[in-house]
Amino acid sequence: MSEKGMFTIGELMQKSGVSIRTLRYYDSIDLLKPSDYTEGGHRLYSKEDLSILQKIKSLQFLGLSLKDIKNMLQKNSVTGAAVLKSLNDQKQLFEAKKLEINTILSDLNHLIETIEDEEIINIHIFCAMLQKLIFKEDTQKWFEDHFSKDIKDDLFNIDKSEEIDLDKKWTKILSEIKQLTFTENTPSSKESQETIESLMLLMNVTMKGNLDLISEKLPSTEPFPFPNPFTEKEQEFLKEAMEIYQKDHLSNSPD
């Protein structure tokens, strides 16, 4: 503090947490002008200026514009209706943020429970899991647009424990498919076909027994970018392995 009992702009910044750039801007718009200057022309602020700055920060919390804050400080009063509106606006804003935070926390807990037993996580599978959570509403909307409401509700109205269990199984089966490709298993090998059989069963469980209906309709629907954790090589392996499985499955089915 200077000999005059004034604060330099740097001291005011430290006491208020408001940047020097912002203080200079407040000066330029006549919101908070310094009470004095040094002989060298540097800004000096009084304790009253600090008090005004604290009021500005308080009113900004309500989401008020600097123009409105300036008018209020000049008039020393404001209508109750204006304050009430600002309070309600801020309440709605923070309620929306609260909802967003709760959704993020729920997704994080979901991921933690899904992968907590995994020693190694494939980054492509993990990113697909993230995308599934991030775009869950878009996925629901897509199913609602292309299938009946009953099917959409059946697919997505599941409790958290069931969803986590499914995601654990998906993580396991997707990892197995990647491993088969990595170890250069042939699509027709016994191990590959057993994995494909497990995949088909999991797909049907996930689709609540509607796999045939959904698979039949998919080619005629508008495409949706479902999360894909596979490389081109892995996609080719999976496509060939599934074609072999379906051909064998069809030939072994009763007439």
Q: Which CATH number is 22's domain given?
A: 1.10.1660.10
What confidence tens digit (pLDDT) does each residue in 65-114 have?
899 899 889 988 878 888 888 889 889 989 999 999 998 999 999 999 99
Confidence (pTM) = 0.65
Identify whether residues 122 and 248 lie together within a single domain.
yes
Tell me how many domains the chain contains.
Answer: 2
DSSP string, the chain: --TTS-EEHHHHHHHH---HHHHHHHHHTTSS--SEE-TT--EEE-HHHHHHHHHHHHHHTTT--HHHHHHHHHHT---HHHHHHHHHHHHHHHHHHHHHHHHHHHHHHHHHHHHTT-SS--HHHHHHHHHHHHTHHHHHHHHHHHS-HHHHHHHH---HHHHHHHHHHHHHHHHHHHHHHHTT--TTSHHHHHHHHHHHHHHHHHTTT-HHHHHHHGGGSPP--------HHHHHHHHHHHHHHHHHHHHHS--
Residues 121 and 224 in one domain: yes
DSSP string of 157-195, one letter each residue: ---HHHHHHHHHHHHHHHHHHHHHHHTT--TTSHHHHHH
Considering the domain architecture, whether residues 52 and 140 belong to the same structural domain is answered as no
- Residue 86: inside a domain, yes or no? no
Domain shared by 71 and 124, yes or no: no
Question: Is residue 97 in a domain?
Answer: no
Residues 166, 236 share a domain:
yes
The reply to whether 126 and 214 lie within a common domain is yes
Specify whether the backbone of 25 is left (phi greater than 0), alpha (psi in -120 to 50) or beta.
alpha
Out of 19, 50, 78, pick the residue that ends a domain: 78
Low-confidence ranges of the chain (pLDDT < 50): none
CB 139 within 8 A of CB 123: no
How are beta strands 43-45 and 36-37 bridged, if at all?
Answer: antiparallel
Is residue 174 located within the same domain as residue 247?
yes
CA–CA dist 237, 232 (Å, integer): 9
Residues 37 and 155 both lie in one domain: no
Domain that holds residue 58: 7-78
Domain-embedded: residue 35: yes
Q: Both 67 and 174 in a single domain?
A: no
Domain boundary among 31, 58, 78: 78
Domain assignment of residue 103, yes or no: no
Rounded-to-integer distance, Cα 187 and Cα 178, Å: 12
Report which of 214, 203, 206 is spatially closest to residue 245, judged by C-alpha positions. 203
The answer to whether residue 88 sits within a structural domain is no
Looking at residue 86, its pLDDT comes to 85
Q: Measuring CA to CA, which residue among 170, 158, 176 is closest to residue 128?
A: 170
Residue 59 lies in a domain: yes
pLDDT at 251: 63
Say if residue 124 is in the same domain as residue 218. yes
pLDDT at 227: 79
Tell me: do 137 and 19 sit in the same domain.
no
Residue that finishes a domain, picked among 47, 78, 109: 78
CA 206 to chain CA centroid, nearest Å? 23
42 domain-assigned: yes
pLDDT in tens, 42-55: 999 999 999 999 99
For 173, the token pair is: 């089966």
Whether 30 and 139 share a structural domain: no
Q: What is the pLDDT of residue 145?
A: 86
Over the chain, what is the mean pLDDT?
Answer: 89
